[in-house]
Structure 1
């Protein structure tokens, strides 16, 4: 339980820290891409495809981190998303993400 909390805390810290850079670099194409990704995740959740939704959520967060332009931190987010996706798949505690698909 402590490790899971650490993973989600690390994600939150890094991802929140990247948001100013993401906002500065955001353009219409990137915003449309993120909207499409969030829509796919919501559709997966509505159709009961939890494992697909978890993967799509991770993809969304990794893409968001990539949009920051900081490849090193984006790589960390990708690793943390892999770990958090496994935690969610095994324990099913989506609320620890700090976001739901409608938050995207």
Structure 2
């Protein structure tokens, strides 16, 4: 989620067990659970790796996000309480401040938290689970494709979205769709390669990148 591990990066059980001070059995169980949640991939007889989503995955993920989040925005449009508006404004403000001081992991975390907060405010736990499941893949897509390594969302767009939510259902749904379409279109090329900070328990994939 914070782009500290790159798409396609291998995860070594032995090194991870040493890093976290647990047995390889515990690591294996954790990896199996993460694989069930589609956060990582388990390769037959080849261990685990961070998923490496392709352009087809991007289309599927953003199609699903539009279906869920545009409905969330439509339902919330014109109905947010002052406390809910204040929570969203605080998240957008903190995200912008994190981005301005160069704290990319924190900006990414707050961006996801903003979208999850909207789903939570909607009140349908199924929507929240769906969105929570889509966010890791979204983050990986942005790490893999977004040019210049820009953040997952742009904070000022969240400010625009809050304004639309104040106006009513139709403006809120339209602004959410515009926001998500903009994100999808920002996948314009492979991101610059960055050195991963977890060299102790990760290693680059030996497989060629997908187009």
Interval of TM-score (by shorter of Structure 1 and Structure 2): 0.7 to 0.9
- Aligned partner of 2:50 in structure 1 is none
Aligned in 2, Cα 1:80/1:3: closer, same or farther, shift over 3 Å? Answer: same
Runs of 4+ in 1 over 6 A off after TM superposition: none
Larger Rg: 2
Count of aligned pairs: 102
Question: Could you tell me the TM-score, scaled by structure 2's length?
Answer: 0.44
- Aligned partner of 1:84 in structure 2 is 138
Aligned in 2, Cα 1:43/1:50: closer, same or farther, shift over 3 Å? Answer: same
CA contact (8 A) 1:37 1:56 kept: yes
- Aligned partner of 2:118 in structure 1 is 64
Question: Could you tell me the TM-score, scaled by structure 1's length?
Answer: 0.82
Which secondary structure does the structure 2 equivalent of 1:48 belong to?
coil
For residues 51 and 5 of structure 1, the distance between their equivalents in structure 2, rounded to whole angstroms, comes to: 25
- Aligned partner of 1:37 in structure 2 is 91
Q: Following TM superposition, by how much is the alpha carbon of 1:20 offset from its aligned partner in structure 2, in angstroms?
A: 2.3
CA RMSD of aligned residues (A): 2.1
- Aligned partner of 1:53 in structure 2 is 107
CA contact (8 A) 1:62 1:78 kept: yes
User: When you count helix as a share of all residues, which structure comes out higher?
Assistant: 1
Which secondary structure does the structure 2 equivalent of 1:67 belong to?
helix
Q: 1:5 aligns with which of 59, 62, 68?
A: 59
For residues 4 and 50 of structure 1, the distance between their equivalents in structure 2, rounded to whole angstroms, comes to: 22
For residues 118 and 84 of structure 2, the distance between their equivalents in structure 1, rounded to whole angstroms, comes to: 9
User: When you count strand as a share of all residues, which structure comes out higher?
Assistant: 2
Superposed CA offset, 1:20-77 (max 9, x none): 2223541000100000001111111111222221111111000111111111011101
- Aligned partner of 2:154 in structure 1 is 100
